[in-house]
Amino acid sequence: MSDRLVKFWRDWRGLLVFFAVMILFRSAVADWNQVPSGSMKPGILAGDRIVVDKLAWDLRVPFTAVRVAGWSHPARGDVVTFDNPVDGRLFIKRVVAVPGDRVEWNRNLLSINGQAAGYAPLGAGEVDALPIEDPDRHRFYRESLLGTARVVMLDDRPGARDPHNNILSRLIVPGTRNCERYAVRAAGAGTALTNAICRCADAGACSTFPTFTVPAGKYWVMGDNRDNSSDSRVIGFVDRQSIYGRAHAVAFSVDTDNYYWPRFERFFTTLDWSARLGEELAP
């Protein structure tokens, strides 16, 4: 038996070492993750395979969450991958607020530390350039705030009438939905935020939240497809320890609605193209 093992090792050691190095590399240095949903449209599509830099902020022991060394932390605007605190699935969202930030979210209008985001609607040429099949069903804006910018997708214009502000929603008393079970998602930020997360998760009322402060070691993340994203409005704060890396680029992409046909135009493309869309199309 030992002779067989020796022969096997001699014949296959090169391939085995290669696989071992690749596995370690993907665990601690860089990885590529599939995007299963459209929560990050229009910049990231379902079927994209995203390259993730796992050395963006720290070095971890492979296959663990143990940090050996750290040199920075996620910043506002970073697209990050993390373990969903509710069910452990790997998610990809954008960091909207970092520890200590004061966040206001009112009728899809975002404010951080008292500064309101600007929402500039995309022009017709810009919308046509988006990789979206049905752009007429949505509204697209360049959201600019505190030195960061991205294109977000909404069903209605920011600041419009809250679709959940009606008589029926007012009759639903937060206590009747057992909102206490959502308290851990609010991470001690208060009952008002707990109830808001409860309303978002149970009734889909996600366009308005009470003002809150992001606790130490926590992050508030959101999808760019603001009306169709299970983000911090549903799952609550994301722990720093659960964030694995910064999404860097699209390695390759397949159309999940068209027999997984390759989207060649998305191969090896950057993720921040949408923030520069207007500059690229400007005369």
Q: Which two tokens stand for residue 51?
A: 């390259």
| d(C-alpha 85, C-alpha 239), whole Å | 8
Residue 137's identity, in one-letter code, is R
| d(C-alpha 33, C-alpha 26), whole Å | 10
Q: How far is CA 51 from CA 103, 120, 269, 271, in A?
A: 29, 29, 10, 10
Map out the domains of the chain as residue ranges.
2-281
Q: Which two tokens stand for residue 66?
A: 């143990």
- pTM for this structure? 0.86
Q: 2-281 adopts what CATH topology?
A: Umud Fragment, subunit A (2.10.109)
Cα first-last separation, the chain: 73
| Percentages (nearest 5) of helix, strand, coil residues in the chain | 30, 30, 35
pLDDT tens digits, the chain, 283 residues: what are they? 577 777 676 767 777 676 676 776 666 666 778 888 899 999 999 999 999 988 889 888 887 778 888 889 999 999 999 999 999 899 999 999 999 999 999 999 999 999 999 999 999 889 988 888 888 889 999 999 999 999 999 998 887 766 555 544 545 544 446 898 999 999 989 999 999 999 999 888 899 999 999 999 999 999 999 999 999 999 999 999 999 999 989 999 999 888 889 999 999 988 865 555 544 443 3
Are 156 and 164 within 8 A, CB to CB?
Answer: no
